[in-house]
Amino acid sequence: MNVELKNRKENFGRITVKVGSNVLTNDDGSLNTWRISRIVEDLAILYRNGIEVILVTSGAVAAGRSEITPSRKTSVVESRQILAAVGQVKLMSHYQYLFGKYGIPAGQVLATRESFMDRRHYLNMRNCIMAMLDNKIIPIVNENDTISVNELMFTDNDELSCLITSMMDCSSLIILTNVDGIYTGIPGDDGTELIREVRPDAEGIEQYIFSFRSEFGRGGMLTKYSNARRLASEGVRVFIANGLRDSIITDIVRGKDVPYTHFLPAGKRRNSVKKWIAHSATFARGVVVVNRGAKEALMGPKASSLLLVGVTRIEGSFKKGDIVRIIDEEGNSIGLGKSEYDSDKAIQNIGQKCSKPLVHYHYLVLNENAGVEPVVF
């Protein structure tokens, strides 16, 4: 056991490491097995030192490309599905073989957006990953690309890694990409510097982010950045670092002076129900418009539930237990909550005094914390 790393266990405890396609693939799109083996080696060191690791990996579609070529009559969506169907098995067998060399069992968890939208699915997934960790199995998570198509897809695996980090109460998320972090300009240009630290109240960082995407993955720096900010505001440390550098993961955990962008965590940590709701902004199925009185009550110093008497309009179709966005009459976002009613039932009772609130305050996350963009109609 490495004493230096053992001491860091207190700080890191359980972490998520996300590896993007641009780290795992060669220029021709095939899997870079040597790079994967270096990453596994790094993770094995953490594992042996008692740090729990959850790996979120891309690369299924890329791995499929070197195995099959979809016929011309296969649609774009189907091509991605079948490349992932073939490639995910290949990707996982690589990981299983490589972790196996260190005597570490690894297992696969495939997630879809639905897995996070439904609280029961969410808890099942959480329990499974928890049981894997308890049994010293490294969970390897990817999107289930065979059934996640179009609007059912995550924005990218950066979003998925944030959801997993939050769901599993990890102390930190390390996002590995093919650059050292966020720069103030084009890397290599005169005067361009790596942004080493992003404080929870930092402003104006977006201006430095260029909107190019990686060739083989879906993500870009902007989604990494916005997901990292949201997670850091929940009290999680986030690092964006270069997965093409050897030992980058252990170097970060050891606290070595290596290049990365570090998003410092805000002090507060939320309970898990509120975290689930806060991360569900993109899953919201309905919009609830509230009057001024209700808005003031919700935003006031006392914890208040949202009552139907304060609701003036309801949009969208949702079921009891779904997440709804709450906005004021000017269209400004107030927050998110879990609805206690189906939308039909709620619409019937708009403006009425019902004993059961539409959103109980235990299941309400106000905008200040929720990281929700203003709603535009």
**Interacting residues with ligand GLU (CB under 6 A):** 21, 58-62, 84, 142-143, 145, 156-157, 217-219
Is 157 or 280 the residue whose CB approaches ligand GLU more closely? Answer: 157
Closest Cα partner for 198 from 227, 220, 177, 171?
227
Q: Which residues contact residue 89 at a Cβ distance below 8 angstroms, ignoring those fewer than 6 apart? A: none
CB of 88 to ligand GLU, least distance (A): 7
Q: List CB contacts of 101: < 8 A, sequence separation 6 or more.
A: none
Question: Least distance (Å) from ligand GLU to the CB of residue 245?
Answer: 20
Closest residue to ligand GLU using C-beta atoms: 217
**Nearest distance from C-beta of residue 239 to ligand GLU, angstroms:** 18
d(CA 263, CA 196): 9
Element (H, E) at 364: strand 364-366
Beta carbon nearer to ligand GLU, 179 or 287: 179
Nearest to ligand GLU of 161, 367 (CB atom) = 161
Structure tokens at 101: 């060399």
CA distance linking residue 239 with residue 66, whole number of Å: 31
Sequence-separated (6 or more) residues with CB below 8 Å from residue 21: 58, 59, 61, 62, 214, 216, 217
Closer residue to ligand GLU, CB minimum distance, 21 or 339: 21
Residue 295 CA: distances (Å) to CA of 41, 180, 311, 345:
52, 43, 10, 22
Residue 53 vs 84, nearer CB to ligand GLU: 84
Nearer to ligand GLU, 90 or 319 (CB): 90
Cβ neighbors of 348 (< 8 A, separation 6 or more) are: none
- The CB-of-59 to ligand GLU minimum distance in angstroms stands at 5
CA distances from 73 to 67, 70, 149, 150 (A): 18, 8, 18, 19
Q: How far is the CB of 321 from ligand GLU (least distance, A)?
A: 27
CB within 8 Å of 155: residues ≥ 6 apart? 218, 219, 223, 282
Taking the least distance from each CB to ligand GLU, the nearer of 62 and 249 is: 62
Strand partners, 359: 306
Cα distance between residue 24 and residue 13, in whole Å: 26
Kindly state the smallest distance separating residue 148's Cβ from ligand GLU, in Å.
8
Give 225-259 as a DSSP string.
HHHHHHHHTTT-EEEEEETTSTTHHHHHHHT----
Q: In what order do the strands lie in the sheet with 286-290?
A: 311-315, 286-290, 323-328, 333-338, 364-366
Of 84 and 366, the one with the shorter C-beta distance to ligand GLU is 84
Least spacing, CB of residue 89 vs ligand GLU, in Å? 12
Kindly state the smallest distance separating residue 144's Cβ from ligand GLU, in Å. Answer: 9
**Closest CB 65 distance from ligand GLU, rounded Å:** 10
Distance CA 329, CA 366 (A): 16
Cβ proximity to ligand GLU: between 64 and 337 the closer is: 64
